[in-house]
């Protein structure tokens, strides 16, 4: 079985998320979330036998990933939905493994 993993350190909430995606029979994907974040782990049942060719790589508002995440996640800035998509892309060879980083800093105008 082919698999890919992402580790998300989302920032202010401090709740690390491990995303495990496995490619099974008939190109169906099973995604499992491991985290202390109950909002994220509540999505575990919604990402079983996912057909990655239908609605996964659609426009944001049409993406099954973003639709499910919008039902469960409270914060629009949560990086988990993007990490799910990038993990699937690596799993199905639509993208290469690559570390993604966001570092947000405040700039004082007086400095």
Interacting residues of 40 by C-beta distance below 8 A, sequence separation 6+: 15, 17, 33, 72, 73, 80
Q: Tell me the per-residue pLDDT of 3-30, one tens digit each, with 9 for 90 and over.
A: 999 999 988 889 999 999 999 988 899 9
Does the domain formed by 2-91 have CATH 1.10.10?
no
Provide DSSP, 32-43: EEEES-HHHHTT
> Which of 43, 30, 37 has the alpha carbon at shortest distance from 72?
43
* Helix/strand/coil (H/E/C) assignment for every residue in 71-97: HHCCCCCCCHHHHHHHHHHHHCCCCCC
Q: What is the pLDDT of residue 111?
A: 61
Q: Tell me the per-residue pLDDT of 82-110, one tens digit each, with 9 for 90 and over.
A: 999 999 999 999 999 999 988 888 998 87
Its pTM stands at: 0.91
Q: What is the pLDDT of residue 104?
A: 87
Is it the case that residue 68 has pLDDT exceeding 90? yes
Domain coordinates in residue numbering, the chain = 2-91
Q: What is the pLDDT of residue 38?
A: 97
């Amino acid at each position: 079985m082919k698999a890919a993993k992402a580790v998300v350190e989302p920032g202010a909430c401090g709740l690390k998320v491990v995303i495990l995606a496995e490619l099974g029979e008939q190109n169906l994907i099973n995604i499992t979330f491991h985290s202390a974040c109950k909002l994220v782990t509540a999505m575990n049942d919604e990402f079983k036998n996912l057909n990655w060719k239908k609605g996964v790589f659609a426009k944001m508002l049409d993406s099954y990933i973003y639709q499910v995440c919008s039902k469960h996640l409270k914060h629009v800035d949560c990086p988990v939905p993007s990490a799910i998509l990038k993990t699937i892309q690596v799993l199905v060879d639509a993208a290469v493994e690559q570390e993604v980083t966001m570092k947000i800093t405040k700039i004082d105008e007086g400095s």
